[in-house]
Amino acid sequence: MQTSLVRAFLALHLMSIFLFALTMFSAILFRSVKRCPMWYSFCASWLMFSASFSLLAFAGQQFSLTQSKNLCIAQAGLVYAAPFLAGCASAALVIKLLSNILDTVSPNLTRPNRTSLVGTILGLAVPWGVWLGVLIGVLIFSVTKQGNVSLSPNATFCVVQSSPVPRLTSVFTIILAVVVLSLELVIATFLIRHRSLKDLLSQSKAVAVRVFLFTGVVLTAAVTGLAFAMTDRRGGAFDVLMAMTPFCTALIFGSQSDLWKGYVQWLPASCLAKRTHHEVAPSHQETISIRQGTIVIS
């Protein structure tokens, strides 16, 4: 066991949990922050992703010589279901972003409210429904093959040995990564093609930067999934690389200015006055909304 790598693995996941929880709390707390339901589902899915890999740590058994078999089975089920949840929720959010961009580019092509409602329901239900189905399936398989469930060779999380489950999960991760990357390419194409539009011009830089950064995260997930699909054993560094995925995602989506500006208003009046005094000129940064949260991933 490489204790330092295990600690790094856990630290990244625990920080991801905190950041996603803080991000969602901030969005709920401040009325000025507008986010769509799929954004909350996206954040919750990645929080669940990191929580699944941290289950042994929460139970205080990460560094124990032996782990509870039932706890290990539970973590194995959660770990293999987590990529399905995060991947589907990410795809749903990117589809929502693309849909909003299309609505802005062609405002005359309004869709019926019922169609929009159905899309929202599907965007929320499909990721969690797939997650629940995979979780139940893996748990049933693990209970019948308890001898195959154990702590991974890197001592990072519980796995199901000698089964097709890990490879199937990795293949699905790669497929979803390709889907998300393709959608992001379409989004980038639309932003470039319609950059002359006034509405898109004020948003293109901010959106393009976040899409570009998240593309890097998706590529990391694809490479990690490919490594897991093609090899039977990997070093602890691959587990740390995998843990970087939710952490970087939390930084990207938790750093939007409207989320933290609310906390600035809580500063004492003297601090706010000093901050205003030192401002040289009004900022010309991109805003976070076209018609209140249309283009931003919200």
Q: What is the CATH number of the domain that holds 193?
A: 1.20.1070.10
Structure-token match 């019926």, residue found = 112
Average pLDDT, the chain: 81
Which residues pair with residue 150 across a beta bridge? Answer: 159
- Whether the per-residue pLDDT at 297 is higher than 80: the answer is no
Predicted pLDDT of residue 196: 64
Q: Could you report the per-residue pLDDT of 148-160, keeping only the tens digit for each?
A: 899 988 889 999 9
Q: Is residue 165 a part of any domain in this protein?
A: yes
Predicted confidence at residue 286, as pLDDT, reads: 37
Angle at 242 between CA 241 and CA 247, to 5 degrees: 90
Report the chain's C-alpha Rg in angstroms: 21
pLDDT in tens, 110-133: 555 656 788 889 999 999 999 999
Q: Is residue 140 a part of any domain in this protein?
A: yes
Whether residue 144 lies inside any domain: the answer is yes
Count of domains forming the chain: 1
**Any domain includes 284:** no
Domain that holds residue 181: 3-263
Query: Looking at 30-44, 54-68, 143-157, 283-297, which range is the least confident one?
Result: 283-297
87 membership: H or E segment, kind and range: helix 69-105
Say if CB 53 and CB 157 are below 8 A apart: yes
Mean pLDDT of 144-173: 88
Q: What pLDDT does residue 55 have?
A: 95
**Per mean pLDDT, which range of 144-148, 185-189, 201-205 is the poorest?**
201-205
Over 90: is that where the pLDDT of 206 sits? no
Q: What is the pLDDT of residue 153?
A: 87
Residue 270: what pLDDT?
52
* 8 A C-beta contact, residue 90 and residue 36: no
Q: Establish if 278 belongs to a structural domain.
A: no
- Asked whether residue 255 is domain-assigned, the answer is yes
pLDDT for res 283: 40
Return d(Cα 264, Cα 276) in angstroms, integer.
12
CA atoms within 13 A on the CB side of 187: 31
pLDDT in tens, 217-235: 888 887 877 777 667 677 7
For residue 208, being part of any structural domain is answered with yes
Greater model confidence, 117 or 79: 79
Q: Does the pLDDT of residue 281 top 80, yes or no?
A: no
Q: Is residue 298 part of a domain?
A: no
Q: Is the pLDDT of residue 74 over 90?
A: yes
